[in-house]
Structure 1
């Protein structure tokens, strides 16, 4: 049985001109999750990252803690949905506002629901069915590389993780909206692959942000 660890990226720069850049806090979060995986003595035979800067920097930070010299292979199929495009077409084009992150989250969730409901008819560059297909394909390809007892890691984003977790539980739409909402930066989701297929073993683990590191717990 193989295991796939899905790591959400560290905190990005919400509300800034370059959102796709890890904040200082995000870099600290990457170091903490790296230390947690080192404590667990997890060894990875395959490492993947989306092509977004926040995903790649998180991968670099974590793998450095694990003493892995080979960088994670970039695979844009692990990228997040394009929230700017989705909000532009389904949410009135409301911009990110660091002073009202909850307000933006409400707009985004409404836009995501409309985007999913539109299916292939959405005017967005990537539709909901296309998003599901590329993410599912990325996971299937990664699973196919694992031998017995081998582990893989993918550095990705909350929407990707929420959708996959929901899909494995039978409801990808609920996963994208409800599970995505509670994913923490640098949380750990673990999947296992065996004869019966891929199973969700744990979702959004974040005990590494308890106690002395609790100040590092963020959701966006």
Structure 2
């Protein structure tokens, strides 16, 4: 039986001029999830990540904690949806603002629901069906390449992970809308694959942020 670990990136720079950069807390989260993966014996693997800076930096920092290291294959299919464009077309142009992140999150969730509802008719460059197709294809490629007992690690984003988890449970759109809001920065999701198919066995694990590390726990 093979296993795929889906890792959400560390905290990005909400409200900053360039969101796509890990905050100092995000860098600490990335190192912490690397330590957790090493503790589980997930070492010496060939990892994957998207092309976004926050995803690549999380992968590099986490893998540095692996003793034996490992290479990172960059694949744009693991990128997050374009929240700026979706907010512009479906959310009345709502913009990130450090003053009220909860208000922005609420507006974005409404925009995501409208984006999904619009389907192929959305004016966004990437529609919901297009996003779903690319993340499914990226995931299927990883799963099909796993041998017996092999493991893969993918550093990606909350929307991607939530969509894939929903898809495995029979409702990709529902997963995106209900699971995305609770994904933890640098949280772990585990999927196993074998003769009986591909199964979600854990979502959003973050015990590595319990106890003395509780200050590392963030959702946005």
Which structure 2 segments of 5+ residues have no match? none
Cα distance in 2 between the residues matched to 1:201 and 1:149: 16
Counterpart position of 1:100: 100
Q: Does 1:150 align with 2:150?
A: yes
Secondary structure, aligned partner of 2:100: helix
| Higher mean C-alpha deviation, range 112-121 or range 30-39 | 30-39
- Equivalent residue runs for 1:11-26 within 5 Å: 11-26=11-26
Q: Does 1:33 align with 2:37?
A: no
Cα distance in 2 between the residues matched to 1:72 and 1:61: 11
Superposition TM-score, scaled by structure 1 size? 0.98
Counterpart position of 2:182: 182
How far has the Cα of 1:99 moved from its partner? 1.2
1:48-97 CA-to-partner distances (Å, cap 9, x unmatched) read 00000000000000111003444310000000000000000000111101
8 Å Cα contact 1:9-1:155 kept in structure 2? yes
Counterpart position of 2:128: 128
Cα distance in 2 between the residues matched to 1:194 and 1:178: 27
8 Å Cα contact 2:44-2:68 kept in structure 1? no
8 Å Cα contact 1:44-1:153 kept in structure 2? no
Counterpart position of 1:86: 86
Counterpart position of 2:10: 10
For these two proteins, the number of residue pairs brought into alignment is 220
Change in CA separation of 1:112 and 1:58 when aligned onto 2, cut-off 3 Å: same
1:189-210 CA-to-partner distances (Å, cap 9, x unmatched) read 0000112221101000001000
Secondary structure, aligned partner of 1:190: strand
8 Å Cα contact 1:46-1:151 kept in structure 2? no
Cα distance in 2 between the residues matched to 1:130 and 1:110: 19
8 Å Cα contact 1:7-1:189 kept in structure 2? yes
How far has the Cα of 1:41 moved from its partner? 1.6
8 Å Cα contact 2:87-2:111 kept in structure 1? yes
Secondary structure, aligned partner of 1:123: coil
